[in-house]
Amino acid sequence: MGFFSRDIGSMDDLFVHTLRDIYYAEKQIADALPDMIAKATNPELKQALDHHLGETRNHIERVETVFEMHGVKAKQVDCPAIDGILKESREIAGEVDDKQVMDAALIAAAQAVEHYETTRYGSLIAWAKQLGRNDCASVLAQTLAEEKAADETLTRLAESKINLQATS
């Protein structure tokens, strides 16, 4: 999908393109999480990120299921947004020099990822419904619920202890 080709001519094309975007994003996230888990110190944060790594592997499979249900090839398209979010997270982590502050930075980075995913799945679900694919929408909704839960867990960890530890 380049700047000089216009191959999105319908809402169905846009749905498939965005599915390919989130497919790429989920795979990049699965590749990035082990490094974030290794950098985390707080055991609950490590556990939460590790739990979400397992979920992320399921998200990849669910996207593959939706490609199959929709009768299109499982293919990735570059997502410059997730590349940027993950690049920024690696850059910040490379600059932080305190374990507790690192945990706070990792949470903020992970939440940026969850918010990106949440917005993409939200659109995909709305479009699937509009296209008469409630079956695809309900598979995608399972993932959206897990992204939101992951985000809430991170907020709870940050606000209940990690930000406090990082400040003291």
Q: Is 79 in the site for Fe ion (CB under 5 A)?
A: yes
Number of amino acids touching Fe ion (CB under 5 A): 6
Is residue 20 within 8 Å of 77, Cβ to Cβ? Answer: yes
Choice from 21, 147, 153, 158 touching Zn ion (CB under 5 A): 147
**Cα(58)–Cα(124) distance, rounded to whole angstroms?**
17
Positions 92 through 111 that interact with Fe ion (CB under 5 A): none
Q: Is 139 in the site for Fe ion (CB under 5 A)?
A: no
In this structure, what token pair is assigned to residue 55? 């979920």
- Name the residue nearer to Fe ion (CB basis): 23 or 103: 23
- Name the residue nearer to Zn ion (CB basis): 119 or 130: 119
Using the rule CB under 5 A, give the single segment among 33-41, 42-50, 71-79, 109-117 that binds Zn ion: 109-117
Is residue 86 within 8 Å of 145, Cβ to Cβ? Answer: no
Choice from 30, 37, 72, 81 touching Fe ion (CB under 5 A): 81
Choice from 21, 33, 89, 162 touching Fe ion (CB under 5 A): 21
Q: Is 62 in the site for Fe ion (CB under 5 A)?
A: no
Exposure b/e, 107-130, CB count within 10 A at least 16 = b: bebbbbbbebbbebbeebbebbee
Q: Is 114 in the site for Fe ion (CB under 5 A)?
A: no
* 21: nearest Cα among 73, 65, 77: 77
Evaluate the CA torsion angle 42, 44, 39, 111 in order and state its sign. Answer: negative
- Please tell me the total number of residues recorded for the chain in this structure: 168
Q: Is 59 in the site for Fe ion (CB under 5 A)?
A: yes
Q: How many CB atoms lie within 10 A of CB 160?
A: 10
- Name the residue nearer to Fe ion (CB basis): 79 or 124: 79
Where on the chain is the footprint of Zn ion (CB under 5 A)?
117, 147
Where on the chain is the footprint of Fe ion (CB under 5 A)?
21, 56, 59, 79, 81, 117
